[in-house]
């Protein structure tokens, strides 16, 4: 008997953890942190409903925190199996997990120093050492080849184009085939490759981040340039909270395009994120995972001035000259971008520009919904800057692209499980799958078990 149980990423876009069990063996597909709403973040501190040392292996579809960020804690709690991913995902995960551990240590230290935490002392969920230890359990798997997993299962990975190294996971186990989409990227993206089709499956687990929305097909470079130039014309700075892996590099590419076409001539661009700097280097190293030539990749990544030290970052916040600052995190939940927001969000001349999905409960979602003030570093900061969004820059497939990926299966699966989406998005995709494909689809609840 094979069972599926979502320990996270069900009914929400965050905390993806999907448990497959057969007999005494268990595989976990993704191992993400909960982000956003406080009641979700608190789940990071709750023990998993299964002992970490009872999990035989983790399959990692990609390295974003909502899919990989709980791994150091899982290892700290006793997990000792392999963490299987693509080579690029392994490299990206090393950046993201170490950075996550560092930020958690710094946030805890800052909270203790300033005294605004309810806990005494405030502690990190894990630290840098835990992240480094977790990396020792990674095992890379080649694309398009079957590899063995504990308990008699086999795995095949295929590109999904979401970020560097992102892959879908086809797992054959106990006479059944189950395919996890991971996060699906866009079709026709100028940087990342198209999501690869999967021929068949008995069961499909698909993300639904934009299950109820279609992306604007306007030229993203032109729209980006218009916002930056409008802001600069009033003497303002454009601050772009961006995911350090994926969106930051796409933004550099579009900004390079704009400058190649004679726009933004006197507007400097700064990339203030050590992790984004390293991720840009990885993009050019893993050339097989994207469309850019080596020369174009190097030129695009060099369009920005890289801000490497804390002192340089502080000087950037103090600089009132019109400019573009790209900084992590993408949902304004932590990192250097918070200091830039404190400096620039209070002035109507400036713009805060979001370029990716903003989960409920994040500062990014609050600002997009019109919040007049946001809480940072224990104080409320007024929002007077222009707040804009470019949804066409999203790295997630929209509803039509999710359906396009599903149409690549040659036969109907027995059931489709819809995860990684807020309730309205997941339900909209479920209805569309039933209406257009006639397939049996369900939106699981967290911890709900299904026999496959």
Q: What is the pLDDT of residues 352-399, one digit of tens each?
A: 999 878 888 889 999 999 999 999 888 899 999 999 998 888 889 999
Q: Are residues 121 and 40 in the same domain?
A: yes
Task: Provide the 8-state DSSP code for 218.
Answer: S
Q: What is the pLDDT of residues 165-184, one digit of tens each?
A: 999 999 999 999 999 999 99
CA separation for the pair 9, 430 (Å, rounded): 16
Taking 80 as the threshold, does the pLDDT of residue 110 lie above it? no
CA separation for the pair 61, 445 (Å, rounded): 21
Give the SS3 label for residue 288: helix
Q: What's the mean pLDDT in 38-57?
A: 92
CA 39 distance to own-chain centroid = 20
Q: Are residues 114 and 158 in the same domain?
A: yes
Share of the chain above pLDDT 90, in %: 80
Q: What's the mean pLDDT in 235-259?
A: 91
Q: Which residue bears the tokens 């899919």?
A: 67
How does strand 25-29 pair with strand 17-22? antiparallel
Which of 348, 367, 393 is a domain's end point? 393
**CATH code of the domain containing 155:** 3.60.15.10
Q: Are residues 180 and 51 in the same domain?
A: yes
Kindly indicate the confidence band of residue 104, based on its pLDDT and cuts at 50, 70 and 90.
Answer: confident
Q: Which pLDDT does position 278 carry in this prediction?
A: 87
pTM, two decimals, is 0.91
CA-closest candidate to residue 269, choices 234, 296, 291, 242: 242
pLDDT: which is higher, 232 or 120: 232
**CATH code of the domain containing 347:** 3.40.50.10890
Q: Are residues 32 and 163 in the same domain?
A: yes
How does strand 351-354 pair with strand 386-389? parallel
Task: Provide the 8-state DSSP code for 291.
Answer: S
What average pLDDT does the structure give for the chain?
93
Q: What's the mean pLDDT in 111-116?
A: 72
Q: What is the pLDDT of residues 122-163, one digit of tens each?
A: 788 999 999 999 999 999 999 999 999 999 999 999 999 999
Q: Are residues 238 and 126 in the same domain?
A: no
Domain, as residue range, for 93: 2-213+395-451
- Contact at 8 Å (CB) between 391 and 216? yes
> Quick one: how many helices (H) and strands (E) in the chain?
14, 22
Q: Are residues 172 and 302 in the same domain?
A: no
CA-closest candidate to residue 248, choices 140, 133, 355, 375: 355
Q: Are residues 341 and 409 in the same domain?
A: no
Q: Are residues 177 and 287 in the same domain?
A: no
CA separation for the pair 252, 242 (Å, rounded): 11
Which of 346, 369, 393 is a domain's end point? 393
Residue 126 in tokens: 């894990």
The structural domain count of the chain equals 2
Question: What is the secondary structure of 115-139 as a DSSP string?
Answer: T--SSSS---SS-HHHHHHHHTTEE
Q: What is the pLDDT of residues 292-329, one digit of tens each?
A: 999 999 999 999 999 989 999 999 999 999 999 999 88
Q: Are residues 183 and 315 in the same domain?
A: no
Q: Are residues 285 and 143 in the same domain?
A: no
For the beta carbon of residue 389, count every other beta carbon within 10 angstroms.
18
Taking 70 as the threshold, does the pLDDT of residue 240 lie above it? yes
Q: Are residues 40 and 179 in the same domain?
A: yes
- Contact at 8 Å (CB) between 141 and 170? no
Residue 205 in tokens: 């687990």
For the beta carbon of residue 268, count every other beta carbon within 10 angstroms.
14
Taking 70 as the threshold, does the pLDDT of residue 117 lie above it? no
Question: What is the secondary structure of 303-367 as a DSSP string?
Answer: TSEE--SHHHHHHHHH--S--EEEES-TTSSSSTHHHHHHHHTT-TT-EEEE-S---TTSHHHHH
Q: Are residues 193 and 273 in the same domain?
A: no
Taking 80 as the threshold, does the pLDDT of residue 100 lie above it? yes
């Amino acid at each position: 008997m094979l069972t599926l149980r979502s320990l996270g990423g069900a009914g929400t876009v965050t905390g993806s953890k999907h448990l497959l069990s057969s007999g005494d063996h268990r595989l976990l597909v993704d191992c993400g942190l909960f982000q956003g709403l406080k009641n979700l973040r608190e789940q990071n501190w709750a023990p998993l409903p299964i002992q970490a040392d009872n999990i035989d292996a983790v399959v990692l579809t990609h390295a974003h925190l909502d899919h990989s960020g709980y791994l150091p804690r899982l290892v700290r709690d006793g997990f000792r199996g392999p963490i299987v991913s693509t080579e690029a995902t392994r490299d990206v995960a090393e950046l993201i997990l170490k950075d996550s551990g560092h930020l958690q240590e710094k946030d805890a230290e800052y909270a203790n120093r300033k005294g605004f935490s309810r806990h005494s002392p405030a502690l990190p969920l894990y630290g840098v050492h835990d992240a480094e230890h977790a990396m020792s359990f990674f095992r890379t798997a080649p694309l398009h080849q079957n590899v063995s997993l504990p308990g008699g299962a086999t795995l095949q990975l295929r590109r999904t184009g979401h970020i560097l190294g992102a892959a879908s996971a086809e797992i054959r186990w106990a006479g059944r085939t189950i395919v996890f989409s991971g996060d699906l990227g866009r079709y026709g993206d100028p940087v990342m490759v198209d999501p690869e089709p999967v021929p068949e499956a008995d069961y499909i687990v698909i993300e639904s981040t934009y299950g109820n929305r279609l992306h604007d097909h306007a030229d993203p470079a032109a729209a980006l340039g218009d916002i930056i130039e409008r802001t600069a014309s009033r003497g303002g700075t454009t601050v772009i909270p961006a995911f350090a892996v994926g969106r930051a590099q796409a933004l550099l590419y579009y900004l390079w395009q704009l400058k190649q076409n004679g726009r933004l001539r006197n507007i400097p661009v700064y990339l203030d994120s050590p992790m984004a700097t390293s991720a840009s280097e990885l993009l050019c190293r893993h050339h097989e995972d994207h469309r850019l030539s080596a020369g174009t990749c190097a030129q695009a990544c060099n369009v920005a001035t890289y801000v490497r030290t804390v002192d340089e970052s502080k000087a950037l916040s103090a600089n009132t000259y019109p400019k573009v600052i790209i900084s992590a995190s993408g949902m304004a939940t932590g990192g250097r971008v918070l200091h830039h927001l404190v400096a620039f969000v209070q002035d109507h001349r400036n713009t805060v520009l979001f370029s990716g999905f903003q989960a409920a409960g994040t500062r990014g979602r609050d600002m997009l919904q019109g919040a007049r003030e946001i809480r940072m570093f224990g104080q409320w900061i007024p929002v007077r800057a222009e707040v804009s969004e470019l949804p066409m820059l999203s790295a997630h497939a929209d509803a039509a692209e999710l359906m396009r990926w599903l149409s690549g299966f040659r036969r109907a699966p027995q059931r489709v499980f819809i995860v990684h989406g807020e309730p309205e998005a997941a339900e909209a995709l479920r209805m569309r799958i039933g209406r257009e494909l006639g397939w049996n689809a369900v939106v699981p609840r967290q911890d709900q078990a299904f026999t496959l």
